[in-house]
């Protein structure tokens, strides 16, 4: 009977799988790429299901990411998108050994920049360069890898003009009476790939000079005292969407593997990019995989936005928490999910970060003989390590599911912690190698996620660590002598406690266990 029930359940699962695949195949708007299969599946917002990641060029992934509009300081809402993309980039390159070419567009001219330039009485170039430099300094503090190329819009004006000229020549763009240029959405019958909205193509008279309310600006005619560039149809500047299309096409041509950004960019920005680029290149599909990250919101599902003046700057955040804490918050959630930011939520990430770091430090101290208690079940720990590797691989290959991967990792840590901290064990079992293997695996996988460890030592750091070791050995002798006194020497014990507190303020955690002492750097 059990076998029959199992078979029936398997049949139901298979039917659901077949139905899902059928639904995916019914989506005619997405074309499965021809090329080289990877080990990864990725969510496709067009088919609304996961599809295999196939690269046009073997082991080379071409990725374009929408960068900042540099008119103000970045906030942690921006940071979350770039951290999530950085995690995925690291997984692809460091875990699956794919060479990732990441190009980032920098919007250094637009309405907001011009407005801020006028308000601050600074020219737009000085203003944008300042905030661009600040942005990348913030990204560095958050351990986000630099893109392969940073591409400013103002450096690509000739390519943008050439792009628009071709669209006009093909009748996919038209010149309005004021000298602006618009994309003709009515000519592109695949408009709406990324949008679930009911698209109204009826002419809207409120949009003067446009044939349809959906038509968007490729070129904005110059206004008085605004920055502008000469074009065949008059002075002006690029529209928002054309920037990314022209930059990405200049670098990657008529096909991109991955294009990413926040979920708010899916429509209209990414929709418009895809439409104009397909027309320009005469292709049915320009981007093979669109990757959208969930938003960071405040309580009540309020989006963190400069316009709402409810943001937390990256610099303010880093005064209270670490880069690892914010990255851990991203790792504990799926990249497509939104996150509601609060003190309780960030504290969960802080606790997880500390748990992992403390466990790795305890492992390292156990291996070097500084941690002398614990009862290690070698077979169980090796089995758990093997299962963890398998679960992490499956999770990461399944649309970069770091939430499932971290659940498996934290479970491994929990089992290891119980063994290391067995009560009433006065002598340890000789199982150093399995503890070393677990510590090594955790350090490596967390490094692949971009979690940095403060214990990575240079020659200078090793000298500092030696000094700390010598000092704590002296403190341990004093503490043991104070405990052996009858009655206990409370004055010396109090001074030992004071030393521990002082070292804590210097970023050093000291743990006393019976007659042994271990220490680690704080995160």
The 10s digit of each residue's pLDDT in 30-69 is 999 999 999 999 999 999 999 999 999 999 999 999 999 9
Q: In Å, how far are 31, 127, 132, 240, 247 from 114, measured between CA atoms?
A: 40, 9, 15, 14, 21
pLDDT at position 18 is 38
Report, as an integer, the average pLDDT of 452-456. 62
Of 273-287, 299-313, 468-482, the poorest mean pLDDT is in: 299-313
What is the model's pLDDT at position 74? 95
- The per-residue pLDDT for range 339-365, each reduced to its tens digit, is 999 999 999 999 999 999 999 999 998
Looking at the DSSP bridge assignments, the partners of residue 14 are none
Average pLDDT over residues 122-133: 97
Q: What is the mean pLDDT of residues 299-306?
A: 70
Range in 10-19, 91-100, 357-366, 382-391 the model is least confident about: 10-19
Q: Per mean pLDDT, which range of 148-152, 230-234, 371-375, 400-404 is the poorest?
A: 371-375
DSSP class of residue 72 equals: S
pLDDT of residue 482: 87
DSSP string, 384-398: HHHHHHHHHHHHHHB
What's the mean pLDDT in 397-417?
98
Higher model confidence: residue 207 or residue 262? Answer: 262
How far lies 123's CA from each of 106, 127, 266, in Å? 17, 6, 31
Of 66-75, 110-119, 186-195, 211-220, the one with minimum mean pLDDT is: 186-195
Lowest mean pLDDT among 59-68, 178-187, 451-460: 451-460
- Whole-number average pLDDT of the chain: 89
Residue 359 in tokens: 């466990």
Closest CA to 419 of 357, 509, 355, 359: 359
CB 112 within 8 Å of CB 69? yes
Residue closest to 355 by CA, chosen among 421, 400, 402, 404 = 421
Residue written as token pair 């109090």: 494
Q: What pLDDT shows up at residue 523? A: 57
**Is the Cβ–Cβ distance between 91 and 136 less than 8 Å?**
no
- Sign of the CA dihedral with 241 first, then 86, 150, and 119 last: positive
3-state secondary structure of 478: helix
pLDDT of 186 > 50? The answer is yes
**How confident is the model over 11-26, as a mean pLDDT?**
42
Q: Enter the tokens of residue 150.
A: 């940073």
pLDDT band at residue 513, thresholds of 50, 70 and 90?
Answer: confident
Which two structure tokens, joined as six digits, stand for 408? 């498996």
Q: Which residues contact 58 (CB under 8 A, 6 or more apart)?
A: 35, 36
Whether residue 24 is predicted with pLDDT greater than 70 in this model: the reply is: no
Range with the lowest mean pLDDT among 58-67, 183-192, 277-286?
183-192
């Amino acid at each position: 009977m059990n076998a029959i029930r199992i078979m029936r359940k398997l049949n139901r699962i298979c039917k659901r799988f077949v139905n899902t695949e059928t639904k995916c195949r019914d989506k005619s708007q997405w074309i499965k790429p021809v090329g080289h299969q990877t080990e990864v599946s990725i969510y496709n917002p067009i088919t609304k299901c996961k599809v295999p990641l196939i690269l046009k060029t073997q082991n080379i992934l071409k990725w374009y990411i929408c960068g900042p509009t540099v008119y103000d300081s970045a906030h942690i809402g921006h940071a979350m998108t770039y951290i999530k993309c950085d995690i995925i980039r690291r997984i692809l390159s460091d875990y699956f050994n794919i060479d990732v070419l990441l190009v980032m567009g920098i919007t250094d001219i637009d309405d907001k920049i011009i407005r801020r330039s006028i308000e601050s009485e600074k020219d737009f170039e000085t203003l944008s360069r300042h905030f661009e430099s600040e942005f990348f300094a913030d990204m560095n503090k958050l351990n986000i890898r630099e893109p392969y190329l940073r591409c400013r819009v103002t450096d690509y004006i000739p390519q943008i003009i050439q792009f628009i000229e071709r669209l006009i020549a093909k009748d996919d763009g038209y010149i309005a009476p004021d000298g602006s240029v618009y994309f003709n959405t009515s000519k592109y019958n695949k408009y709406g790939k990324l949008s679930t909205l009911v698209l109204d193509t009826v002419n809207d008279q409120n949009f003067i000079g446009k044939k349809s309310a959906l038509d968007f600006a490729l070129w904005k005619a110059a206004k008085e005292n605004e920055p502008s560039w000469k074009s065949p149809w008059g002075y002006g500047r690029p529209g928002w969407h054309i920037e990314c299309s022209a930059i990405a096409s200049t670098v990657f041509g008529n096909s991109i593997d991955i294009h990413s950004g926040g979920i708010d960019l899916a429509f209209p920005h990414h929709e418009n990019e895809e439409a104009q680029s397909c027309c320009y290149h005469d292709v049915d599909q320009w981007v093979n995989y669109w990757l959208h990250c969930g938003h960071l919101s405040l309580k009540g599902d309020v989006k963190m936005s400069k316009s709402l003046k409810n943001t937390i700057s990256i610099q303010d955040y880093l005064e209270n928490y670490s880069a690892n804490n914010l990255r851990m918050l991203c790792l504990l959630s799926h990249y497509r999910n939104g996150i509601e930011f609060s003190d309780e939520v960030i504290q969960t990430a802080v606790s997880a970060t500390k748990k992992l770091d403390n466990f790795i430090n305890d492992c390292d101290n156990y291996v070097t003989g500084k941690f002398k208690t614990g009862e290690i079940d070698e077979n169980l720990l090796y089995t758990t390590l093997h299962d963890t590797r398998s679960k992490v691989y499956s999770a990461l290959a399944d649309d970069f599911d770091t939430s499932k991967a971290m659940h498996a990792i934290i479970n491994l840590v929990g089992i290891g912690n119980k063994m290391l901290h067995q009560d009433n064990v006065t002598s340890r079992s000789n199982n150093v190698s399995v503890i070393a293997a677990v510590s090594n695996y955790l350090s490596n996988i967390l490094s692949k996620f971009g979690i940095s460890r403060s214990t990575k030592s240079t020659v200078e750091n090793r000298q500092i660590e030696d000094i700390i070791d010598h000092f704590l050995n002296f403190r341990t002798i004093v503490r043991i002598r104070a405990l052996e006194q009858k009655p206990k020497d409370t004055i010396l014990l109090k001074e030992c406690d004071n030393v521990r507190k002082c070292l804590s303020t210097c970023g050093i955690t000291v743990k006393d266990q019976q007659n042994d002492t271990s220490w680690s750097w704080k995160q």
